[in-house]
Amino acid sequence: MKLVERFLNYVKFETTSDENTGVTPSTPTQMVFAKALEQELHEMGLSDISLDDNGYLYATLPGNVTDKQVPTIGFIAHMDTAPDMSGKDVKPRIVDYQGGDVVLNAEQGIVLEVAQFPELNDYVGQQIIVTDGTTLLGADDKAGIAEILAAIEWLQEHPEVKHGDIRVGFNPDEEIGMGAHKFDVEKFGCQWAYTMDGGAVGELEFENFNAASAKITFKGRNVHPGTAKDKMINSIRVANDFISMLSRWETPEHTEGYEGFFHMVGIKGTVEETTLNYIIRDHDRKLFEQRKCEIQHLVNRINAEYPDCATVELKDQYYNMREQIEPVMHIIDVAEKAMERAGVVVKVQPIRGGTDGAQLSFKGLPCPNIFAGGMNMHGRYEYVPIPSMEKAMQTIIEICKIVAE
Would you give the end-to-end CA distance of the chain in angstroms?
28
Residue in 132, 140, 153, 174 annotated catalytic: 174
DSSP letter for 119, please: G
Q: What are phi and psi of 48, to 5 degrees?
A: 55, 40
The SS3 call for residue 190 is coil
Mention every residue, 6+ apart, whose C-beta is less than 8 A from residue 57.
34, 37, 38, 41, 49, 50, 51, 79, 169, 170, 171
Instruction: Report how many helices (DSSP H) and strands (DSSP E) the chain contains, helices first.
Output: 10, 17
Concerning whether 80 is annotated as a catalytic residue, the answer is yes
Q: What is the full DSSP assignment across 124-189?
A: TTSEEEE--SSS---HHHHHHHHHHHHHHHHHHH-TTS----EEEEEES-GGGT-TTTT--HHHH-
Q: What's the distance, CA 17 to chain centroid?
A: 12
Under 8 Å between Cβ of 30 and 172: yes
Question: Is 175 an annotated catalytic residue?
Answer: no
Q: Would you call 109 exposed, middle or buried from its count of C-beta atoms within 10 A (0-12, 13-18, 19+)?
A: exposed
129-140 b/e with 16+ CB inside 10 Å = b? bbbbbbbbbbbb
Active-site choice (14, 38, 80, 173)? 80
* Residues annotated as catalytic (active site), given as ranges: 80, 174
